[in-house]
Amino acid sequence: MAEPEPFGVLPDGQPVQLYRLRSESGVEVSACTYGATITSIVTAGRDGTRANVVLGFETVGPYLAQTAFFGAVVGRYANRIARARFMLDGQTYQLQPNDGPNLLHGGARGFDKRLWNGEPFTRGRDQGVRFTRVSPANEEGFPGRLQVTVEYLLSAVGALQCSFTADTDAPTVVNLAQHSYFNLSGTTMPVLDHELTIAARRYTPIDATMIPTGALAAVAETPFDFRTPRLIGDRIDDPDPQLRIGRGYDHNWVLDRDQRSADDQQLSYAATVRHAGSGRRLDVFTTEPGLQFYSGNFLDGSLRGPQGPFVQRAGLCLETQKFPDTPNHPTFPTAVVRPGQRYFARTTFAFTHE
């Protein structure tokens, strides 16, 4: 069982703990109580060389000021909500914008900037850590007192299962996601040489403020077609209006099994990332209807981790989630959770090498 280790102290004096999970296959995952943040994932390449394949820091200090959400759990609503407001059951809720006119990843002090309680556990041969916290009613403007649990479970064969549950005492909207930046090379060189596959025939185009227009557009014959493996760098700089808005990829893909019911807890295949140089491979499976692929476009080298400076496109995010701005789009799969109705989402990141 993973024992807590000191990871630093918050400005108010509260200690932050780190937990290290180790699999029999050699994969090692570290996560801390600040933001339920995954700080490192160490895996081997085809030649046996071990390296950290996510962007992160070695103490809690650098996480406090940065706004890139490195490795954190984002919520209460992952991704964007237009004009930082939504209507639920006839009542309008005004949130605090933190991304131009919009709300991003839960607000200025979302779940990524909160201290969680940590508890290690084992399940057979697998190691895990459970993070819990209570989000009080009206935190960042969201209704309902929300009791949240995040479980990271590392299997003996090196698959990291991320499970999210939440219970509310009033109708609210919930959308939690894991926001790690992956770089399978184990460096901070741009991920343009990574090969990506996404199991999606459609994506949600965005407006100038990066809010979905409501359309579900076909990826065929566009730079957004990753139905077959393609290098991320192949078309990322095409003169496509959608790519220009996000300075690259920062869009939600509609996974091919997007019509599942809200209580469907079955994982389905979402995406694969391969890095030819190291042989490392990541396969993603999820219960969620959407996948936000973000190519690290707004990283600028001003932040630095143990691998080096986080330059533009030094990491890629695969955020499995409800669609962005779902509370304002009745045709999108719902994000509403009511009393007596438990929120559940699960994603597995499986690490291997070829």
Contact 203, 325 (CB under 8 A): no
**Coil, strand or helix at 158:** coil
**Is the model's pLDDT at 258 over the cut of 50?**
no
Structure tokens at 301: 């080298």
pLDDT tens digits, one per residue of 226-241: 999 999 999 999 999 9
**Is the model's pLDDT at 263 over the cut of 90?**
no
pLDDT tens digits, one per residue of 247-256: 999 999 999 9
The separation between CA 300 and the C-alpha centre of its own chain, rounded to angstroms, equals 20
Instruction: List the Cα angle 88/151/272 in 5-degree steps.
Output: 90
Q: Which residues belong to the active site?
A: 179, 319
**Is the model's pLDDT at 305 over the cut of 50?**
yes
Contacts 24+ apart (CB under 8 A), 202-207: 202/253, 202/254, 203/251, 203/252, 203/253, 203/254, 204/251, 204/252, 204/253, 204/254, 204/290, 204/323, 204/324, 205/242, 205/251, 206/242, 206/245, 206/246, 206/250, 206/251, 206/324, 207/245
**Is the model's pLDDT at 68 over the cut of 70?**
yes
**Is the model's pLDDT at 259 over the cut of 80?**
no
Cα–Cα distances (Å) from 153 to 129, 159, 324, in that order, read 7, 8, 27
**Is the model's pLDDT at 261 over the cut of 70?**
no
Q: Output the CATH code of domain 5-353.
A: 2.70.98.10
Q: What is the pLDDT of residue 260?
A: 45
pLDDT tens digits, one per residue of 87-115: 999 999 999 999 999 999 999 999 999 99
**Is the model's pLDDT at 262 over the cut of 80?**
no
Q: What is the pLDDT of residue 147?
A: 98
Q: Which of 319, 270, 316 is nearest to 297 (CA)?
A: 316
**Coil, strand or helix at 345:** strand
